[in-house]
Every structure is written in C-alpha cells, then in structure tokens.
Structure 1
C-alpha cells in the first residue's frame, strides 16, 4: 500500500511538471511604482520634509521641501547629502560630519518615501559603489588641513597675500565646530574696544583665562594669545583686511556677528573663495610628507583621487579629539558629547611622523546648563538660563532641593551636578516664557516647541514637564512633593525678607504662588578639546625636544595649552579666528623671506 502511494505521488508530480531535482530560482528584481512620494522625519531642530521622485528602477529627484535645521550647519548638510544619495542611488552614503542628526533625519525620510514606492531597500541602502581613485599631484605655496574658523582664516590670509593655497576638509562642508559657536569675538586691546572706553588689557585677559582654567593653562601659549588678539581682531573687522561684518556696537568686551558662528563661517567661506584659494571637500589628509626633517606637503584621499600636495608650508587646523573615544578619557563617557563629529584628533596621529609634542590631552571642556533635544543631541541653554537666573528660576535635584548657586561659578555648579542623580530647572509661568523666548530668539528651537514638549502625552526628549501645582509637578518629576514645596517656600522667604541666599546668589524676585509651574531636566555635556599640539610663538609645531618642525604650523583647537581644565567663555571661538590670522601672517612672512 505504501509503495502504491509513492507511485501515485510521483505520477502527480510528473503530470504537474514538478521534478525531484528542483533548481534554485532567483526572485525578480523589485520594481518601484513611479511617482513622487512625501515623507517627514525628525532632524536636529525639528521636522525635515522631503519629496522623492522615482521611476521603476531609479531615484530621479530628492527634494527637501521644508526644514528647521541650523543655518550654516544642517542647512548646508541637507543638499549635500541629498545630492550624494541621488548620485550613488542609495541612502547608504556617509552622513555629513558635524550634522549627523540632520543627516539621520534626512535618510529616515528618504527611506520612508522609498518604502512607499515599493523599493528594494537592500539595494537602495547598500554602500555606494565608487570607481578606482586616480593619483593626482598638486603644487602649492601653502596647504591647510581643516576648514573651520582657524583653517579658513589662515588660508584666507595667505591667499589674500598672493600665495597659492589649497585647503583640504574631510567633510562635505566647511565651518567645523565654529559653525556651532555663538560667533562673538573678544576684543581685548582692539581699536573698537578702545573707542568704546572699555577697561581691559592683555594682562587682565590672561588673568581671566588662568582663573577659568584653574592655572593649568600653558602660560607661554596664554601670553601668545593675549598679545595678538587685539591687532588680529582689528584685521578681521577691517574692510582692507578680513572684511568680516561684525556689529560695531556694545560695551567693548566683545562683538557679535549676525547669524552667529554659522553666519560668520558662511561669510568667511565667501571671502576665502574670492581670494582664490582652492578648497577640496570630502578630502581626508592622511600623512605629512617629510624631507630631511622638514614638512614639504601632505598626502590626502578624496572621493575621486589620492592627492600628493607639495607645499612650502603646512598649517594644521583640523580641530580637536572629542569625538575619538580612543583618546578621550573614560570619565567623560558619563556625559553626552556636543562637539563636532569630525573631531577625531587626526593631526595628533599625523605629527608622529615628526615626533610632534602634545600636552593636556586628558582634558576636555565640560559645561552644565544642558538640555537634550528631541534628536538626543545635547544643547547648551546659556541664553535661556541667563534670563531666568536673573529672575526666579532655580535648580532642584532628585530630592526636590536646591544644591548650588545657579548663576555662580560654572565649575562649582558642575561639580555639584555630578553629585546628583538628576536635576531640573524649575520655573513659574513668567520664567518659562522668558526661557523659551531667549532660546527661540537664538533659533535653538522654535517658539511652538515647548508647548508640544510639556504636553502630558509627550514622551520623548527633552524631559520638560508642566503642571498646575507644585504637588502635581513633583509627581511628574518623581521627587518628594513636600520637599519641593519647602524649597520654593524657603527661596521666596529669603527674597521677601532680604535674607542672604544660602548659596550666595543675588536674589531678585519670588517664584509665583499660583499659576503653571514647569521643570526642564538639565545635564552636563562635553565638547571642546583643551589639550593638543605644542607650538612656539611663531605658531610652529614643536617636537618632543621642543624644537620647531620646519614647514609645519598649527592654529585653532588643534593647539593645546591656551585653556586649562575649563575654558573661558567666548575665548575658544576668538582663539580660532585670531590664531588663524596669526598663522596666516607668520607663514606669509616666512614665505616672503
């Protein structure tokens, strides 16, 4: 009976065209449904809306319809990334360093649009296929590594002096960490400061730097900075010099650029190109070319070529090392990194070819007063807390208690925060409005965002809660309600009675006894590298024997020692810009001899 069943089964298989020796077949390639598809995803500052047009087999257009990304950073990265995805027909292209959150948002939106079109996501997410790199040799007077403030400024200065300059930048856009900065320049000893009648001097600035850095700075580097900041500032703002349109208003301590650091970098890029410098983007410097102890050029790898760039002088301005966990001490991993994602310490590796010296690599700048954006990125809130600490905004910990002078010494506040499990900025309605206005005026977030974030049904970042009573707010924060009420009562009593604050804060107004209350979780971030390469007073890189390496210079964050274990507010952007001028000046003078 069993034999009969098997025979019948084989007969049926034969009749139906089946075979016991089946061959493996491949699925036909998925075809997309032609059309234009819309999608939205979260970027750094808000939603990124795209329209993606496809045929059956390829992407024909990626259009960013609307976004709220930072001008000069995300706004520059989105079109670059869209072009690369279109060029290589994949969302598997590299994200734009310095705009990784914006990049991730755009990729997510495009992926969703492709999914709607029925695309083969394995195919359209694959790593891009690039052709074989050609070998190319360039000759220049000066080659600059890094397209941030220091690199662009030094390249601009030397190009303006008539030298042939090549700048290589490993990311698809210039600006670096400086595009993320506030953009203000300290003006010590400048003509503008003198005209404003502001009392300041190189010695006074030196003392401020040393005090902020707890006297752990490298004194000769500090003195070098304070000696050239005035004349170099004058050059930056003069029409015949840098022609950077800083606003000639204010007290004289510092001057701002409309559009902040991002705006300043866009203008500097324009100046640089107008001066005739050649800029190679997506080009990673890989090694120094050394001949008999002197640096005579670099090797670099671009998208389409391996470059040998011969030069009479090389300026290192590739930024810090905060994104490289092989260099950053483990103690910092407890905090979120808010610096540039391209800061991998590339120059630290390159200078090994000349036995280059470094100092203070164990230090990076930490800062309190940090909120977490919906993207997960840490964001400074200095302008917001600066407003409410003049009013009645206070910080409370997980116990519902104050723990430090909110607007006092940054270092002391940070040390106190490190002792907490968590902490919150507590605000009444008036403070909440002032905080949000200060932040949205600087375009950190949009005016309508806080209402969304403080809604009861919102579950993402930032952790921002609102309530009609302190008891209700305490429940949302998981802090003791009675302790929180007692903290507010004690603060108000001190204000009303004129009693000195237990933490030394100058008290002004009370916290409202009725109305809405709000709390925003605050944390610590780290960013700027405080250590780096050793230089002399001619911006020349030193070897471990403290001898200048012929042909090799450095400027900006890549240099170590100007700051101690904490930076002085506003000084790092000023150092980047003015040290870039200084490197350009000394290199131009050396080439003229």
Structure 2
C-alpha cells in the first residue's frame, strides 16, 4: 500500500493552496483530482478575494481594517455564522494575501462588491491562480497529483483514526495511507440533483452552473464518519445571471451594485438592491417565472469595468444580452412590462434617491454600506434579463479554526480535515463576495499546518 503524510481530495483553490503549503513544509503529499484537470468551481468563479489592509487599497487611499472586514462578514452572515471562524479568517487574511502574491497570484483590480463597507474585492484570474499554484507544485518532488482519480470512501486505520482513502484510478480501486491526515477539498454539490432536492428544494428553478465534479462526494464521505453539517438551511442561489448562462459561458452582470435597480415582470421593484446577491437571489426566485430585469442608465453604464466578470456591461452588450433604448417607454416595451408601471417605479425611486429617503425598500447605498445611489434619468437606458444560478453551495461540514472536521458534539474527527466550499459555518445566512476563495486559501493552509503539527505562520 502506498503511503503519504497527507492526502488531499480535490484540486480547486483550497486543495492547491494546501498542496503548496504542505509541499513547501517538506511533507509527502498526494492530491487526488476526480476530473482530468485542476480548478473545479474555482475557475468558474468571479475571481474576487476579500482582503483588508492591502497595498492595493493603500495605493487607492482606501482606509480599511481587519475588524471592519470581520464586522461585515458577521453582519451579512446574519450573525448565524461561527464567530471563531470569522475571527480566524480576520487574523490570517492579510498574511494569506501576501503569501498568494509571493506564489505568483496576480491581483488585477480592486472593486466595491457585495457585502463590503469599502472596496476590498481583489480580483484574480482564477485560471492564472490555479496554474500559478500548479507551477509551484510541479517543482516540488514530494507532491504528487493524480488526475481522473475520484476518492470513494474514507477508511480508519488500526488506531481508529481516518488514515486511508479508497479511490479509483485506471478503472481499478486502490487504497492509499495518510499518516498525518486526509484533507477534503472536494467542493460542493451544486451538480447533484439528488442532494439539492433533499436540502434546497426552493432552488429547483435555479440554473446549474458549477464545476463538473461538484456532486457532494466529500460531503458524503465525511458524513459516513459522523461529520456534522450546520448550515444547509441557508443554501441560496446567486443572482444576476442571464437565463442563457451555462458552465461554458457564465453571462453575469451586477449593474445594481453600480446604481441600477431590479424589477420583476410586472415592472415593480421587490427588494433593496444593495443587499447580498444571495438574498437577492432568494427574492428573485419568488417572482413570476423566476425572471427579473436589471434596469440602469448611462450614468451606471459609464461605471462598467472592462474584463471584470461582474461589471463588464460592455461585454454583455457585445454579446447582445442587453436592451438599449432612448426612453423608458421603449424599455418597457422591450422587456414587456406595463409602461405606466415601469414609469411609476422609476419616478418613485428617483424621487426617493434625490431626497435621501427611498420610500419602498429604504435603499441607502450601492452595496452594503458603500456608495451613493444615483437617479435613473440619463439616456440611453438599459435592461438585462436576469435569473438565479446554483454556482456553489456555500454550506457543508463543520470545521474548527484548525480545519479539523467536527462531529455533532464539536469534537474533532481524528485525522480528518476539510477546507473550501465543502465546509460550513463560515458564510451563514448571507454571502460576502470574495470570502469563498479567501477562506479556501486561509483554511486550506491552516488545516495543513495542524495536520503536520507545524507552527502557525499563516
């Protein structure tokens, strides 16, 4: 039987950060990836990472702090997320940012995004991020990656500790030993209709956009050994996708965070657009046919950010996904909503924004506590048909600040660790943009350091 100190299940961002950390610590590592390439759902993400106090913020004159980031994570999470996980993220986030930079991750732009009180959405190209980590791994002789090698079961050793993994390679089942621990970094279950029907029937109408391997394998393997799952009731979709979006072409735009509004097929608003796009997604799915429209004007259009996966409105225009007209009457005709209703909706909104007391839903900002909304009044006007997608599940097995998987009594399951999308307890009832990839990096490394009993340096 082969033996490694650490066996990692999954080659997304969490698994690759863990592999680099373990490899550079001198441990023998085997990473099992069920697909034929690395990346998982990471490469379908918007590429935002949530960090506070960075040099990028400093260059733009943005004042930020770890405590402000922590406060936003807890507030947007509805205060049902585990505070110790949030505090640990805050403690280690800035060092993790520098670690990523030191390992070739290129941070491109800084944007104001969902759930933050200041601009702290640091963007990366997810493909470049994964490939940079892979480049490091290929230089480490003590780290091995096997593709097309799905893990099937976790096995206990003679000491009652999770110490072996049953997996499949070349059509045959094999067992590998893990002397220091097994790290589950296998992603979520957004592609498992069986699990989604069990735990998120309210999302039946959402598009399915995620990594092809996202079937909940790691979740089920951990369940078998008593892992607790704390936050499945908070599963939500992600708002802002065009109905034609799929895993190949992820057509998404969030113009409402730059000042647009959202209306349903009746032409009326139904929520404060500054809220987390998870909350927006829940509300949008309850609208007729689960379809709504983002409406904005030229003032918002001029805030577009080229090559940004959320704010490149010109790209949506080039893909012919936008309606562009000179009057609100024409816009209502394009999206087939009552003209008088849409005119009243926009007039009421504009009046409220100008007076500082938006009457319907109390909108005061562009996103969370940041930015000032502007009236929708400068032609041309735009509309973007939008719906909700299951991009990732953002809920899963319980872990502590060391990445140890916990049973229902908050006791660690010996030898078992988890990081990334497969874990629960961090996001709570909402979602802060950039915290998913952020927690992948932070807790992927923390789990490795505990498994190898290394001094925490993250």
Structures share fold, TM-score greater than 0.5: yes
Residue 231 of structure 1: how far off its partner (Å): 3.2
Give the distance between the partners of 1:470 and 1:587, measured in 2 at CA. 60
Partners of 1:469 and 1:414 lie apart in 2 by 28
> Contact 1:468–1:516 at 8 Å: present in 2 too?
yes
Quick one: structure 1 residues 317 and 509, their matched pair in 2 at CA, closer, same or farther if it must change by over 3 Å?
Answer: same
Match of 1:175 in 2: 39
Distance 1:545 1:399, change over 3 A: closer
Question: Distance between the aligned counterparts of 2:62 and 2:385, measured in 1?
Answer: 41
Say which of 357, 362, 375 aligns to 1:500: 357
Name the counterpart of 1:477. 335
What's the counterpart of residue 397 of structure 1? 264
Cα distance change of structure 1 residues 246 and 255 upon mapping to structure 2, 3 Å threshold: farther
Deviates more, 1:285-294 or 1:396-405: 396-405
Q: For each residue in 1:446-495, what CA deviation from the matched residue of structure 2 results, as whole angstroms up to 9, or x when unmatched?
A: 95763563xxxxxxxx5x44455544443342221222233344455566
Whole-Å separation in 1 of the counterparts to 2:111 and 2:313: 27
CA distance in 1, matches of 2:123, 2:308: 15
- Provide Cα deviations, 1:269-308, integer angstroms capped at 9, x if missing partner: 1112222321111110011131131122211112354332
The Cα shift of 1:498 comes to 4.2
1:232, distance to aligned residue in structure 2 (A) = 3.2
Deviation at 1:543?
3.1
Q: Distance in 1 between matches of 2:56 and 2:337?
A: 50
Find out whether 1:275 has 2:140 as its counterpart. yes
Q: Quick check: 1:200 aligned with 2:40?
A: no
How do residues 96-135 of structure 1 correspond to structure 2 at under 5 angstroms?
none
**Aligned residue in 1 for 2:86:** 222
Q: Return the alpha-carbon distance in structure 1 between the equivalents of residues 350 and 201 of structure 2.
A: 41
Given that 2:51 and 2:122 are in contact with CA atoms closer than 8 Å, whether structure 1 keeps it comes out as: no
Partner of 1:380: 252
1:333 aligns to what?
A: 204
Match of 1:286 among 137, 152, 165: 152
Structure 1 residues 444 and 280, CA gap change in structure 2 (3 angstroms): farther
Corresponding residue SS for 1:365: coil
2:110 and 2:377 mapped to 1: Cα distance?
34
Aligned to 1:359: 230
Matched, 1:143 2:7: yes
Match of 2:293 among 416, 424, 441: 424
Aligned counterpart in structure 1 of residue 382 of structure 2, from 507, 511, 518: 518
For the structure 1 residues 262 and 395, does the alpha-carbon distance in structure 2 shift closer, same or farther, using more than 3 Å as the test? same
TM-score by length of 1: 0.64
After superposition, the C-alpha distances for 1:52-72 in whole angstroms (9 at most, x for unaligned) are xxxxxxxxxxxxxxxxxxxxx
Please tell me whether the aligned partners of residues 209 and 390 of structure 2 are also in contact (alpha carbons under 8 angstroms): yes
Q: Displacement of 1:573 after TM fit?
A: 0.9
Which of 558, 571, 585 matches 2:422? 558
Match of 2:129 in 1: 264
Measured in 2, the distance between the counterparts of 1:344 and 1:170 equals 11
The separation in 2 between residues aligned to 1:290 and 1:365, in whole angstroms, is: 34
State whether residues 244 and 251 of structure 2, in contact with CA within 8 Å, keep that contact through their aligned partners in structure 1: yes
Give the superposition deviation at 1:234: 3.5
Deviation (angstroms), 1:590: 5.9
Report what 1:186 is aligned to: 50
Tell me how far 1:408 sits from its aligned partner: 4.7
Runs of 4+ in 1 over 6 A off after TM superposition: 189-197, 248-253, 443-446
Determine which structure has more spread, i.e. the larger CA radius of gyration.
Answer: 1
Q: 3-state SS of the aligned residue for 1:401?
A: coil
Any stretches of 5+ residues in structure 2 without a counterpart? 113-117, 364-371
Counterpart for residue 300 of structure 1: 167
Distance in 1 (CA, whole Å) between partners of 2:92 and 2:129 is 20
**Match of residue 324, structure 1, among 180, 185, 192:** 192
Q: What residue number does 1:585 align with? A: 449
Bigger CA drift: 168-177 or 206-215?
Answer: 206-215
**1:168 offset after TM fit, Å?**
0.5
Q: CA separation in 1, counterparts of 2:340 and 2:55? A: 56
Task: Report the TM-score when normalising by structure 2.
Answer: 0.81
CA contact (8 A) 2:46 2:310 kept: no
User: Structure 1 pair 467/316, CA: closer, same or farther in 2 (3 Å)?
Assistant: same
Task: Report which stretch shifted further, 478-487 or 294-303.
Answer: 478-487
